[in-house]
Amino acid sequence: MSLQCGIVGLPNVGKSTLFSAISSAKAEAANYPFCTIEPNVGVVEVPDDRLRVLERLVNPQRIIPTIIEFVDIAGLVKGASQGAGLGNKFLANIREVDAVIHVVRCFEDDNIVHVEGRVNPVSDKEIIDYELQLKDLESVDKKLQRIEKAARTSGDAKAKAEVEVLHRYKKVLEQGKSARTVDVSDEERLAVADLHLLTIKPVVYVANVDETSLAAGTNEYVEQLRAAAAEEGAEVIVICAAIEAQIAEIEDLDERAMFLEEYGLTESGLSKLIRASYGLLNLITYFTAGEKEVRAWTIRRGWKAPQAAGVIHSDFERGFIRAEVIKLADYDQYKTEAAIKDAGKMAVEGKEYIVQDGDIMHFRFNV
C-alpha cells in the first residue's frame, strides 16, 4: 500500500533539510528559493518497537518494517495559484499526495533569508493556505457552474443535492478556511471527490526551531503556530531540522541515544513526525511472523480481514477462508504459537473481522 505525505512550506523554512534527515534520498539544500525543483521522493521506515519484540520471540531470518513515502515539494510563494514562482508545479505535486506535512519557520537567523523578509509563522501558514484555498475555490466554482445547469434542466435530485454540498464548500473557502473544515458526511463528501481538493487533505504542522528552543520544547513562534493550528484541529510537532540531520547520520544506536540525551530527548522529532504522518492517513499495522521473516503490513483503520489479506496478495483476499489472530501481549506471554493455541489464545476469525492495530495474523485461503 503506497501512500505519500508531501512536505510543503515557503522557501527557506527547512523543508529540504528535514527531508534529507528522514530519507536516504538527499534533497539539495541551499540558501535561496526554488533549489528543490523536481519533487524528491523518499521511502522511510515507520518506527515500531513491536517488531523488536517479535524478533526476539520468533528469531526470523529478516525483519521488514512498514514504510511511508515523503515527497519534498518545491517552495511556494504568494501568487502560486496564478502561476507565480513554481506555483503550477507546486500545486500539481500537492494534488498527488495523500497528506500534507507543512513546515513552518519558527526561528530567527540573520544568515538565512526569509522570502517574506520577516519571521511570522502564522502569516507563513496563511500564505500557503490562501493559495491552496484559491485553487480549490476555482475547482468548486467550475463544477458548480456545470452541475447547477444540469440541476435546472433535468430537475435531477442527485444533482440538486450536489449543488447544495458544493455551495457549502464554496462558502467556507470564501471565508479563508480550508475544505477539510467543512462539516459533511462521507456520502456528501463524494460531491467533491473528483475535484481532488488541495485543502481537504489532512495536515500536520512542523515547527522548525533552533537548538535553544528545541531544548525548551517551545518558543513564542511555536505557540503562535499552535494557536492557529488548533482552529482546524491540526497537530504541531516541534523539530530542529538541523539537529535531526545530524541525528540521521549517526548509525550506532547507543551513540544516537547519547546524542538525544544531550538535548533532553528520548526519541528524535523525526520518529514522532513519521508516526504522526502514519496516523494522519488513518493507517494501522498488522504483522505476519515466521522463521523466514517478521513483517509489518500497512492497512486502513476499519478494514476487514479479507481486505487486509489482499495487501499481501490478491489471491489471499479472493480465496479467503479464515484468519488466525494472535495478540502481541499473548505472544510475549506464551512465547510460541503452540503454547498460545494450548492456552486458547489464538482466535479464528471470519470475513467480518475488523483487523486491530498490532494483530499478528495468519491467513487461510483457497483459490
List binding-site positions for ATP: 12-17
Q: Please check whether residue 7 is in contact with residue 103, taking contact to mean a CB–CB distance below 8 angstroms.
A: yes
Which of 65, 75, 20 shows the shortest CA–CA distance to 42? 20
Cα 357 from Cα 351, distance rounded (Å): 17
Cα 240 from Cα 308, distance rounded (Å): 37
Which of 88, 280, 103 shows the shortest CA–CA distance to 201? 280
C-alpha cell at 257: 541515544
The span from the first CA to the last CA of the chain, in angstroms, equals 22
DSSP for residue 341:
H
Q: Please check whether residue 54 is in contact with residue 76, taking contact to mean a CB–CB distance below 8 angstroms.
A: no
CA of residue 204 relative to chain centroid, distance: 8
* 3-state SS, one letter per residue, for 75-95: CCCCCHHHCCCCHHHHHHHHH
Q: Which residues are annotated as a binding site?
A: 12-17
Cα 143 from Cα 344, distance rounded (Å): 57
Cα 102 from Cα 26, distance rounded (Å): 19
Cα 146 from Cα 331, distance rounded (Å): 57
- Between strands 293-300 and 347-349, the pairing is unpaired
